[in-house]
């Protein structure tokens, strides 16, 4: 296996253990509801990758060409990704258009990205190809075309340099389609070696994942890491999982899963949506780690998950946390395996007024729980900076800066975006603090609202609103609205509710205002209640704060 000690034995991702030793051991077990599992052995995976690579060559693609893969997540998209790697191209996974994305924004962004990045080809489904073809400058190849261009001739894999770009990830924004994070083979292998040590990866581990491959958590932790390391990967479609979340528990039970990465909302989704009859008799006792990352971690979500699935074998020490981002390949920090993530209680008023995480009692007014993301993984330096670029002491909140051997080479064909300062530090845009060597996340720098001199982090207010009866948990967004007359930012909240009764909506609105005032030191100036599917999301599934603020402005008209 690839470890920090064996790192020199690996030059590129094509040296992956799964590909180096092709045999009958399972590489991927792909699950779908009401379908028999599809088991892809290492030998079968290698054959399919070479077939896909030969098809891409026959279609006229060359090494270093950018290949965009916009599939509905399936084995086909997996073969396309590794096939592109094998023939030396630069693959990039993309989301397909869903009802969670604005179709006009998606199409415009896709066309703009293809143009800016000079993509050589877009691979997509037979159904989506005719829609996409008129909107992009690159050739669009559907699944049927790829199949007919397959070659039975022996394919000789490309041998790229370790410093060459291996693939692109796309960092999240309003659409998530604008900034291509270019990662070298060396950076990815460095990350996998260090992160595998951080989670104490073993040869008998089994990774179980439903995560989308266009997001760093799914692409690295739930896809590339297990295939490089030669541990079995049990996969399912994210769309299938959202509709049938018990699939995850069944997969862990059936295949003795040990590792699973989840965003925070997934803990709530599983606890609320999995019926007891669907989890009865399923054992999760084989799990070593459920790892929460990609968004603020809520201790309440962990406790909800723990209580709901305790009878299935979930224990506190299984609930780990990682702070991760595409620009660092994946993990920046990781909590210690076999230890429950540390939880600190801090004074919310002190945080708002002085950006200081003062310890508090849980029953104190404005007390907040913050969950540790753990210490930096080996090879990652981390510092907290104030607004002037000075390093701050423990428990003082500032912007997180990192420096590592896992960072991006740059933003692909975007010379206007310079990610580093003069000393190789990457400013993440996230706000947090250090306590005894462990990182705690507070929120996004760009989302910070200055309200009457107080530092307000929208995620804290959203968490309060999500607890109000009648509000759909996880379907709330809070943002600042500049008010020239008051010389400050006012707070606005948009929350999704199911009821259409006006009296009930007014009651929910009043409850939201009262609860925010009770639990925090701020007041909501605007509360806008909406129905299902109003809120816009990024391609990675997060609520798009800026896009929803703009939509709110358009709809409210008379409000500034």
Quote the CA–CA distance of 60 and 62 in Å, as a whole number: 7
Which CATH number goes with the domain that contains 470?
3.30.300.30
- 327 domain-assigned: no
Supply the DSSP string of 327-370, one letter for each residue. GGSSBSB-PPTTSPPPEEEEEHHHHHHHSB--B--TTSTTEEEE
Supply the DSSP string of 471-484, one letter for each residue. EEEEEEEEEEEEET
User: Are 349 and 491 in the same domain?
Assistant: no
Q: Name the DSSP class of 486.
A: T
User: Are 352 and 426 in the same domain?
Assistant: yes
User: Are 228 and 351 in the same domain?
Assistant: no
At 376, list the tokens: 């930096």
Domain boundary among 420, 445, 470: 445
The DSSP element (H or E) to which 87 belongs, if any, is none
Instruction: Report the predicted TM-score, pTM, of the whole model to 2 decimal places.
Output: 0.86
User: Are 353 and 210 in the same domain?
Assistant: no
What confidence score (pLDDT) does residue 540 get? 62
Longest CA pairwise span in the chain (Å): 73
- 149 domain-assigned: yes
User: Are 470 and 374 in the same domain?
Assistant: no
The DSSP element (H or E) to which 235 belongs, if any, is strand 233-236
Going from the C-alpha of 356 to that of each of 353, 374, 396, the distances in angstroms are: 8, 19, 5
Quote the CA–CA distance of 359 and 377 in Å, as a whole number: 26
Dihedral, 420, 426, 427, 433 alpha carbons, nearest 10 = -160
What confidence score (pLDDT) does residue 151 get? 62
At 44, list the tokens: 């079968």
CB of 63 within 8 A of CB of 157? no
Number of folded domains in the chain? 3
User: Are 422 and 353 in the same domain?
Assistant: yes
Domain boundary among 396, 426, 445: 445
- 297 domain-assigned: no
User: Are 37 and 145 in the same domain?
Assistant: yes
Note down the domain range covering 482. Answer: 449-556
Beta strands at 289-292 and 38-41: parallel, antiparallel or unpaired = unpaired
CB of 295 within 8 A of CB of 442? no
Which CATH number goes with the domain that contains 55?
3.40.50.12780
Strand partners, 236: 31
User: Are 12 and 124 in the same domain?
Assistant: yes
What confidence score (pLDDT) does residue 177 get? 46
User: Are 405 and 362 in the same domain?
Assistant: yes
- 314 domain-assigned: no
- 293 domain-assigned: no
pLDDT (tens digit, 0 to 9) for every residue of the chain, 560 residues total?
999 999 999 999 999 999 999 999 999 999 998 899 999 999 999 999 999 999 999 999 999 999 999 988 889 999 999 999 999 999 999 887 776 666 777 788 788 888 888 999 999 999 999 989 999 999 999 988 888 876 655 566 678 899 999 999 986 543 344 689 999 999 999 999 999 999 999 999 999 999 999 889 999 999 999 999 999 999 999 989 999 999 999 999 999 999 999 998 899 899 999 999 999 999 999 999 999 986 678 899 999 999 999 999 999 999 999 999 999 999 999 999 999 999 999 999 899 889 999 999 999 988 999 999 999 999 999 999 998 999 999 999 999 999 999 999 999 998 888 889 888 899 998 999 999 999 999 988 888 887 876 778 888 899 899 989 999 988 999 998 877 665 678 899 999 998 999 999 999 999 999 999 888 878 899 999 999 989 988 766 678 888 898 899 888 865 44
- 351 domain-assigned: yes
- 179 domain-assigned: yes
CB of 27 within 8 A of CB of 232? yes
Collapsing DSSP to helix, strand or coil, 269 comes out as helix
User: Are 212 and 358 in the same domain?
Assistant: no
The DSSP element (H or E) to which 516 belongs, if any, is helix 502-519
Which CATH number goes with the domain that contains 400?
2.30.38.10
User: Are 453 and 438 in the same domain?
Assistant: no
- 277 domain-assigned: no
What confidence score (pLDDT) does residue 63 get? 94
User: Are 377 and 492 in the same domain?
Assistant: no
Give all strands of the β-sheet with 398-404 in edge-to-edge order.
Answer: 380-385, 398-404, 426-435, 438-444
Collapsing DSSP to helix, strand or coil, 544 comes out as coil
Domain boundary among 413, 445, 477: 445
Dihedral, 441, 446, 451, 456 alpha carbons, nearest 10 = -10
């Amino acid at each position: 296996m690839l470890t920090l000690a064996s790192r020199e034995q690996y030059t590129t991702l094509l040296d992956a253990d799964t590909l180096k030793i092709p045999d009958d051991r399972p590489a991927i077990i792909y699950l779908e509801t009401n379908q028999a599992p599809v088991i892809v052995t290492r030998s079968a995976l290698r054959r399919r990758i070479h077939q896909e690579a030969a098809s891409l060559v026959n279609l006229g693609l060359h090494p270093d060409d950018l290949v965009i893969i916009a599939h509905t997540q399936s084995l086909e998209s997996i073969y396309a990704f590794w096939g592109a790697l094998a023939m030396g191209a630069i693959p990039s996974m993309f989301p397909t258009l869903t009802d969670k994305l604005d179709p006009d924004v998606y199409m415009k962004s896709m066309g703009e990205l293809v143009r800016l990045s000079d993509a050589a080809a877009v691979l997509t489904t037979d159904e989506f190809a005719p829609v996409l073809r008129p909107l992009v400058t690159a050739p669009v190849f559907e699944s049927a075309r790829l199949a007919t261009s397959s070659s039975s001739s022996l394919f000789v894999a490309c041998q790229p340099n370790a410093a060459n770009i291996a693939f692109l990830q796309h960092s999240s924004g309003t659409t998530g389609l604008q900034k291509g994070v270019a990662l070298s083979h060396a950076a990815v292998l460095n990350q996998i070696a260090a992160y595998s040590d951080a989670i104490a990866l073993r040869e008998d581990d089994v990774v179980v994942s439903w995560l989308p491959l266009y997001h760093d958590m799914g692409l690295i932790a739930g896809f590339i890491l297990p295939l490089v390391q030669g541990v079995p990967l049990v996969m399912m479609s994210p769309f299938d999982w959202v509709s049938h979340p018990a699939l995850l528990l069944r997969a862990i039970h059936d295949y003795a899963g040990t590792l699973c990465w989840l965003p925070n909302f997934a803990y709530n989704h599983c606890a609320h949506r999995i019926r007891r009859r669907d989890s009865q008799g399923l054992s999760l006792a084989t799990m070593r780690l459920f790892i929460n990352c990609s968004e603020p971690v809520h201790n309440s979500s962990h406790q909800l998950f723990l209580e709901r699935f305790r009878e299935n074998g979930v224990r506190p020490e299984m609930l780990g946390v990682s702070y991760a981002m595409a620009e660092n390949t994946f993990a920046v920090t990781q909590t210690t395996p076999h230890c429950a993530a540390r939880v600190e209680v801090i004074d919310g008023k002190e945080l708002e007024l002085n950006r200081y995480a003062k310890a508090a009692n849980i029953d104190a007014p404005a007390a907040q729980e913050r969950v540790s993301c753990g210490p930096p993984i080996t090879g990652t330096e981390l510092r907290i900076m104030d607004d002037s670029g000075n390093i701050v002491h423990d428990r003082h909140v500032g912007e997180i800066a990192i420096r590592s051997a896992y960072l991006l080479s740059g933003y692909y064909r975007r010379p206007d975006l310079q990610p580093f300062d003069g000393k190789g530090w990457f400013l993440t845009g996230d706000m947090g603090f250090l306590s005894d060597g462990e990182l705690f996340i507070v929120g996004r720098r760009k989302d910070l609202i200055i309200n009457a001199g107080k530092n307000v982090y929208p995620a804290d207010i959203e968490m309060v609103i999500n607890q109000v009866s009648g509000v759909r948990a996880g379907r709330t967004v809070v943002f600042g609205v500049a008010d020239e007359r008051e010389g400050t930012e006012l707070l606005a909240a948009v929350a999704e509710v199911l009821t259409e009764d006006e009296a009930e909506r007014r009651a929910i609105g009043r409850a939201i205002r009262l609860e925010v005032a009770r639990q925090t030191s701020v007041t909501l100036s605007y509360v806008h209640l909406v129905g299902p599917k109003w809120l816009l999301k990024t391609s990675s599934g997060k609520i798009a704060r800026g896009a929803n603020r703009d939509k709110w402005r358009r709809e409210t008209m008379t409000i500034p």
